[in-house]
Amino acid sequence: MRKILSLVVGMMFALSSASVADKVVSVEKQLIGIIGAVSGTIKTNTRELKTGDKIYLNETIFSGTESGTQILLLDQSTFTIGSESEVVMDTFIYDPATNDGKIVASVKQGSLKVISGLISKKNPDSLTVEVPEGTLGSRGTEFQTMVSKEQTSTLLIGPGKNNTLGLRPGSVLVGNSLGSTLLDNPYSISTMKKGKAPGQAKKITKNQLKKFKKKMKALKVAKLTEATKDEKQAIRKQIRKDLKAAGLDKEEIKALIKTNIKKDKEKKAIKTKKVKKKKAQAKKSKSKKKKAKAKKSKSKKKKAVKKKTSTKKKKAVKKKKTVKKKKAVKKKKVVKKKKKVVKKKKVVKKKKKVAKKKKVVKKKVAKKKKKAKNKRRRKK
């Protein structure tokens, strides 16, 4: 449905050109843009708004609870209105031939996010948002303001992918009769209270950012891609009707459609290329991680095997040592036993020898005694 969105904007430019040239549109019914997306209840003083409806100068737009809308202006500026808001388009001057012009909007309450378009690209000081406590002067950028009963908080978002200003950061001048503060760093915030000068620029806190996002939450579900086939056809039909009424012939209408489709295709091709690149990078990263994991696992396994082998080896060495020790002890015991037996044998042998010697001596003594006795007998 983005095709229709770009088609709508392109054709609205053509309408604007024709209207300015022929001076057909009155001040009361000056066309300034179209509703690009709606969530919940969005209305003006006279009608309820839906996707594809035209927006005119000086119309007050009201959004209900949990509601939001996105307005695509003729100069490609985008105004996103959050829930429980009241916004008026006070001034819209635009020359499509030169991109000269001026935009002034008022936020009575609620939230408004602005992405500046071609008018701001030509002259960054040409977009102003009025709030109860003062004014916000856009210097060609993307910003959001939140108006409550007590104060107005303004957040500089900076360049976005849909910002016609590309990478130029831009700034927002928050001011009133008592002073001014320049927001020139993305995600810096300033608060204005009644009767006081604007607060100094500070980096937004997480809680403050949550509040800003909450105001825009309703629009996340309101995308033109969710339009039915009948709604798409009705939008196309209405656009053709308006272009014919503006004095464009069939060929010019076809050329406009062709140009917008071509632009949309180019954008789609760039987006597809980015997605493919992202997927390829993700795949590469996944493959790298897988390889690293496998390498780690292999290394872990190797270490485990090495540890196991080392432990086994240690155990084997320990066992060997223990066996050797046991054998040595056993051998020692055997040797000791043998020595003991040998010693015992020696002692027995010695004893036997001594006993034999004693016997021999005894015999000799007995023999001697006998001889001496016999000698004495003979003498008698």
DSSP assignment of 313-366, as one string?
A: HHHHHHHHHHHHHHHHHHHHHHHHHHHHHHHHHHHHHHHHHHHHHHHHHHHHHH
Q: CATH number of the domain that 197 lies in?
A: 2.60.120.1440
Band (pLDDT 50/70/90 cuts) for residue 378 is: confident
Q: State the residue range of the domain holding 119.
A: 2-248
Q: Tell me what pLDDT residue 6 has.
A: 46
The answer to whether residue 361 is domain-embedded is: no
Given a cut of 90, is residue 48 above it in pLDDT?
A: yes
Long-range contacts made by residues 316-319, C-beta under 8 angstroms, separation at least 24? Answer: none
- Which is higher by pLDDT, 34 or 26? 34
The answer to whether residue 242 is domain-embedded is: yes
The region of weakest confidence among 47-51, 69-73, 286-290 is: 286-290
The answer to whether residue 164 is domain-embedded is: yes
The answer to whether residue 374 is domain-embedded is: no
The answer to whether residue 183 is domain-embedded is: yes
The answer to whether residue 329 is domain-embedded is: no
Number of domains comprising the chain? 1
pLDDT in tens, 159-204: 644 444 444 567 889 999 999 999 888 888 999 998 899 999 988 8
What's the mean pLDDT when you consider all of the chain? 79
Nearest residue to 7 via CA among 260, 228, 258, 254: 260
The answer to whether residue 339 is domain-embedded is: no
The answer to whether residue 31 is domain-embedded is: yes
Report the predicted TM-score, pTM, of the whole model to 2 decimal places: 0.53
Band (pLDDT 50/70/90 cuts) for residue 354 is: confident
pLDDT in tens, 329-343: 888 888 888 888 888
DSSP structure string for 142-209: EEEEEE-SSEEEEEE----TT-TTTT----EEEEETTEEEEE-STTEEEEEETTSPPPPPEEPPHHHH
DSSP 8-state class, residue 218: G
Given a cut of 60, is residue 364 above it in pLDDT?
A: yes
